Structure formats: C-alpha cells, structure tokens
C-alpha cells in the first residue's frame, strides 16, 4: 500500500510540473505578458489559502482516500477541458483557461491535504521517517521530470496533446488511490459541509491546540523547509545567471545536486530520528546558504546545494514523521490544512522578500532565504525542539 501511495505521489508531481510550465507558456503565448509564469506560480499559493479553509473539514468528515481520489479525477477532467480550450485562440477561451486554472489549483490543495492525512493509516509509524524523506525525493524528481518533459513535448506536440497526457497522469493517480486500503478507512459524516460547520470544526481545532500548544509549535516549524525550498526555486535562475554565466545546464546540475542530497537523507533515515539533531541540521542549512551566498566556486556552490538538500531532507523527514504520529485521527485533515495554509502564507511572504532583494542582486536574494532559515532555526532552538520531543512522549 505504501508503494501505491508513493507511486501516486510521483505521478502527481510529474503532472504538476508539466501543467505549471505548460499553462504559464500557454498564457504567455496568448497574452504576451512575461508575468504569466509568475501568475501561475503565485496563483497556486493564493488559491491554497482559500482552499485549505474548506479542505481540512471535508477531509475529516469524509474518507481521505476518496477525497484524494476525487481530487485526482477532477483534475483529470479539468485538464481535458483545458485541452479543448487550447484549440480556441479567442479571448473568451483564455479567460476560461484562467478560471479552470483556479479550479485545478484548488483540486491540488484538496489532494495534498487528503494524502497528508492519509499517511498515518497507510505507513507504519516506524517507517514514516523514511517515507517522508522518500516523498520529498519524489517531489523533486517528479517536478524535474515534469518540467523537463513538457519542454520536449511542446517542441513536438500541441498544448492540447500535452494537457491530455497530464490528464492521463491525474487519472492514473486517482485510480491508484481509489484502490488503496488504509486503517480506519471507513465512511464518515455527510459530504455537504455548510459554512457554519466549517467554522465549528476550526474552532474545535483551535481549542485543541490551546490545550496542546506544542502541537501548534510543531506544525508551525514544519512549514519552514517547504517555504525555503520554494524560495530556492525562485533564486535558481538569477544565481545561475550571476555565478555561472547564464549557462542553463547548471540549472539542472544544481537542481540535481539538491535532489541527490534528498537521496542521501533517504538512505540514512532510520526508524527513529533524534529531535536533538534538529537544530544542528537547521544550522547546516544556514551554513550551506551562506556558502551559496558568498562563494564564487562552482564546485563549492554545487556541493552546498547537495548538502542543503540533505539537511532540509533530514529536518523535513523528522518533523513530518513525528507530526504524522501525534495528529489526532479525527483532526488529521484540519491539521494538514492548517499546515499547508501556513506554508502558503509563509511562502508568499518569503517570495515577496526574496523577489525584492533579487532586484538588488542574486546574493542578496540568497541572503533573504538564509534569514528565513535562521528565523526558523531560532524558533526551533527556543521552543520547537521541546515541542517535538513532547509529541514523542
């Protein structure tokens, strides 16, 4: 069952990488606006904030497996509709593409929430650390494969065909998850969730976190790795332009080095990861970012991306695996939603700050990301490490 969930994770990340680039390029071709790619990326986080409000309560009231499967199916249907719209060059069709992009992103966030809540019922507690590190690796590999594939496919095929391939990947994900079996995989309450019940559910979660503040801290610090990774993607192109003469080969080299670091984490992950090492690996993140910021040596920068991938992989595996184990079963969806909601907010702030400093220079942009990592390290050192340890007791 774990393999099926990981297979679905890989296919989804490939599909996400494909449609993110393809939609951005389609809108650029239609509008001529260079901001099209930024729009597609930024839209994801905006829709994420709005979607997560409903996603958590729905996942808690329904079966997470079925919600994830339904999200995959809905995204497959949306990609089919986008394939049809790609054949129409009219203005109305372009507006419809934007509208469907919003629905596509909403489906993505429902999927993320449901699959995060699904993990404790599929993966044994002693395997969750290795699962988390492998899931992060598949995130990197899937995005690389998707983005790399779409460039080749669009040079030979139409947007419509590419979108249909994407639809096939989402459909496969939906079918895989539909056949998945998880502990506690039973029918839940009614599917329709009125706003009053959504508010009630979130109040219930808030009251629970007041009684267990360590859980709130744990969720908060677990967002740091994802936010730092998002900002790293933003600085990659300016960094290569500044330090590698704009040679696009180095985009793949640095991305590959980061993914290789995630592989190292997976190979070294053990059944029990020691929270006492959490701050040490966060300090390593800061160190590697500092080297990337000041180094002119290509070897040093590449090695730092490798080390950064390993350090982030370790902290992410530790924090998420322990979070899986301490989430109350009846609140898994809302906790997952709350986590992704915080990720969206922190990432939007991080992207804003990184973009501003990138306008000065690439090293300044890296410096801002290093500042983010430092802030999360300080929080972890003061209250976070204890919060994670409490969750294990």
CA neighbor of 285 nearest in space, from 190, 366, 215: 366
Q: Are 339 and 224 in contact (CB under 8 A)?
A: no
Q: 46 vs 138, which has greater pLDDT?
A: 138
Region 81-107 average pLDDT? 84
Tokens 């260079």, located at residue: 34
What Cα–Cα distance (Å) separates residue 206 from each residue in 211, 216, 337? 9, 9, 13
pLDDT in tens, 294-328: 988 889 999 999 999 889 988 888 888 888 888 88
Secondary structure letter of residue 361 according to DSSP:
-
299 contact partners, CB below 8 Å, separation of at least 6: none
pLDDT in tens, 359-392: 888 889 899 999 999 999 999 888 876 767 665 5
Q: 140 vs 320, which has greater pLDDT?
A: 320
Please tell me the least confidently modeled range out of 54-68, 102-116, 237-251, 331-345: 237-251
d(CA 61, CA 304): 44
% of the chain exceeding 90 in pLDDT: 18
Confidence of residue 183 (pLDDT cuts 50, 70, 90): low
Across 57-66, 67-76, 208-217, the highest mean pLDDT is recorded for: 67-76
Region 136-154 average pLDDT? 76
Tokens representing 302 are: 């590449």
pLDDT in tens, 253-262: 887 788 788 7
Question: Angle at which helices 332-358 and 224-243 pack, to 10 degrees?
Answer: 30
Confidence of residue 184 (pLDDT cuts 50, 70, 90): low
Residue 267 has pLDDT above 80, yes or no: no
Residue 266 has pLDDT above 50, yes or no: yes
φ/ψ (deg, to 5) at 8: -60, -40
Average pLDDT, the chain: 81
Q: 166 vs 144, which has greater pLDDT?
A: 166
pLDDT in tens, 218-234: 888 988 888 888 888 77
Q: Do domains 2-124+153-186 and 209-392 have the same CATH topology?
A: yes
- Domain segments of the chain as ranges: 2-124+153-186, 209-392
Residues 82, 85, 89, 93: what is their CA dihedral angle, to the nearest 10 degrees? -100
pTM: 0.76
What Cα–Cα distance (Å) separates residue 50 from each residue in 10, 100, 103, 327, 352? 25, 15, 11, 23, 19
Burial of 152 by CB count in 10 Å (0-12 exposed, 13-18 middle, 19+ buried)?
A: exposed
pLDDT in tens, 18-54: 887 787 778 767 776 545 455 555 666 677 777 878 8
Class of domain 209-392: mainly alpha
350 contact partners, CB below 8 Å, separation of at least 6: 227, 228, 230, 231, 368, 369, 372
Residue 187: per-residue pLDDT: 46
Q: Which CATH number fits domain 2-124+153-186: 3.30.70, 3.40.50, 1.20.1250, 1.25.40?
A: 1.20.1250
């Amino acid at each position: 069952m774990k393999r099926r969930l990981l297979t679905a994770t890989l296919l989804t990340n490939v599909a996400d990488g494909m449609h993110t680039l393809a939609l951005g390029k389609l809108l650029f071709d239609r509008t001529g606006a260079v901001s099209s790619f930024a729009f597609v990326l930024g839209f994801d986080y905006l829709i994420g904030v709005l979607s997560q409000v409903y996603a958590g309560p729905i996942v808690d009231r329904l079966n997470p497996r079925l919600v994830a499967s339904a999200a995959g199916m809905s995204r497959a249907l949306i990609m089919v509709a986008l394939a049809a719209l790609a054949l129409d060059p009219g203005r109305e069709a372009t507006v419809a593409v934007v509208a469907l992009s919003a629905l596509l992103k909403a489906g993505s966030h429902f999927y993320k929430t449901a699959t995060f809540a699904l993990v404790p019922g599929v993966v044994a507690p002693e395997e969750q650390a290795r699962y988390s590190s492998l899931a992060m690796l598949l995130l990197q590999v899937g995005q690389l494969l998707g983005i790399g594939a779409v460039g080749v496919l669009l040079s030979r095929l139409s947007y419509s065909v590419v979108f249909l391939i994407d639809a096939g990947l989402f459909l496969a994900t939906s079918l895989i998850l539909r056949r998945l079996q998880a502990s506690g995989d039973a029918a839940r309450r009614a599917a329709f969730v009125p706003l009053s019940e959504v508010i009630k559910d979130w109040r219930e979660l808030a009251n629970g976190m007041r009684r267990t503040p360590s859980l709130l801290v744990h969720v908060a610090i677990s967002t740091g790795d994802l936010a730092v990774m998002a900002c790293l993607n933003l600085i990659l192109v300016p960094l290569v332009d500044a330090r590698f003469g704009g040679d696009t080969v180095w985009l793949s080299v640095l991305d590959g080095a980061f993914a290789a670091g995630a592989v190292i984490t997976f190979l070294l992950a053990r059944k029990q990861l020691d929270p006492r090492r959490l701050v040490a690996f966060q300090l390593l993140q800061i160190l590697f970012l500092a080297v990337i910021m000041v180094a002119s040596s290509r070897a040093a920068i590449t090695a730092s991306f490798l080390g950064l991938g390993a350090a982030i992989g370790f902290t992410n595996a530790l924090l998420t695996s322990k979070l899986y184990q301490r989430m109350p079963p009846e609140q898994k969806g809302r906790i997952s939603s709350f986590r992704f909601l915080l990720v969206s907010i922190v990432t939007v702030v991080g992207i804003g700050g990184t973009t501003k400093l990138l306008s000065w220079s690439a090293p300044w942009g890296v410096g801002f990301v290093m500042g983010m990592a430092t802030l999360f390290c300080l929080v972890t050192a003061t209250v976070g490490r204890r919060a994670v340890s409490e969750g294990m007791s």
